[in-house]
Amino acid sequence: MAKSSVEKMGNRVRPIGKKLLQAVAAVLFPPICCGCGRRIDRIGTVCPQCWGKIQFLTGPYCPVMGVPFRFDVGDGFLCGEALREPPPFDCARAAVLHKGLAQLMVSRLKYSRRLELVPIMGQWLLRAGRDLLAECDYIVPLPLHRRRFRQRGYNQSAELARYLAAKTGKIFAPHILLRKKYTVPQVGLSAAERVKNMRGVFAVEKAARPQLLGKIVVLVDDVYTTGATVKAAARILRRAGTARINVLTFSRVVKEMEF
């Protein structure tokens, strides 16, 4: 009897307790815009002003490189880079242009441990990569070298990839690709230096090789700059027999639009 009355009491109390907790949490930790810090009504989003400044890459774009075109130039029209030097991956997509708030989000996630940004960045990635994620077998994050992982404590690309896997039910595969060589940060290096810096950096885990044969992989990274890093990783995955390698990044650097 005592138990059932406690249960009844619990049933009565629980919703009130939950509401109270939510009210207290809203006062102590009000949802704020990750762009400007303004109060907003929902956690995990940005305010309308900041939203307006984000440039989503919804198309038109080059079907291979994913670089945005200003005009719809027709199906199958490729950008200059895709024609000049076809990449070792099948296609690349990004959610947003690497500018302003998007750039800030990438750097906060990477250098300031702002892991609460993962769900919002992840949602935008989910939308941009819907088709690629639907057809893939594995979601593989760009790995960090052990030493860098120890310094940072987490891999921002793996956190994004983990979110995508949880939302799509696809396999999160952070151990397929290894980063064997410790490299200096790519910031400030020329395109040629970046390619050289990336030589011999990645390897496929030996035990994972049979699993990759004929499979489709989505390679996840935070930002696509010159593509030197994802291209190096894609070459290694291709050599291991991966059938399709599609690159999905949160943001993308675009120097100037071709069309």
Supply the minimum distance, in Å, between the C-beta of residue 116 and Zn ion.
15
Supply the minimum distance, in Å, between the C-beta of residue 43 and Zn ion.
14
Q: Which is nearer to Zn ion, 120 or 253 (CB)?
A: 120
Supply the minimum distance, in Å, between the C-beta of residue 117 and Zn ion.
13
Supply the minimum distance, in Å, between the C-beta of residue 31 and Zn ion.
11
Q: Which is nearer to Zn ion, 50 or 79 (CB)?
A: 50
Residues in region 196-235 near Zn ion by CB under 5 A? none
The DSSP string of the chain is: -HHHHHHHHHHHHHHHHHHHHHHHHHHHS--B-TTT--B-SSTT---HHHHHH--B--SSB-TTT--B-SS---TTPPPHHHHHS--SSSEEEEEEESSHHHHHHHHHHHHS--GGGHHHHHHHHHHHTHHHHHH-SEEEEPPPPHHHHHHHSS-HHHHHHHHHHHHH-PEE-TTSEEE-S-----TT--HHHHHHHTTT-EEE-GGGHHHHTT-EEEEEEEEESSSHHHHHHHHHHHHTT-SEEEEEEEEE--SS---
What residues contact 116, with CB distance under 8 A and at least 6 apart? 34
Taking residues 15 to 54 in sequence order and writing x for each that binds Zn ion by CB under 5 A, - otherwise, the string is ------------------x-xx-x--------x--x----
Say how far apart CA 153 and CA 136 lie, in whole Å: 28
Supply the minimum distance, in Å, between the C-beta of residue 185 and Zn ion.
29
Q: Number of residues in contact with Zn ion, rule: CB under 5 A?
A: 6
Residues in region 47-106 near Zn ion by CB under 5 A? 47, 50
Q: Which is nearer to Zn ion, 29 or 71 (CB)?
A: 29
Supply the minimum distance, in Å, between the C-beta of residue 120 and Zn ion.
12
Taking residues 126 to 145 in sequence order and writing x for each that binds Zn ion by CB under 5 A, - otherwise, the string is --------------------
Q: Which is nearer to Zn ion, 47 or 118 (CB)?
A: 47
Q: Which is nearer to Zn ion, 45 or 186 (CB)?
A: 45
For binding to Zn ion (CB under 5 A), which residues are involved? Answer: 33, 35-36, 38, 47, 50
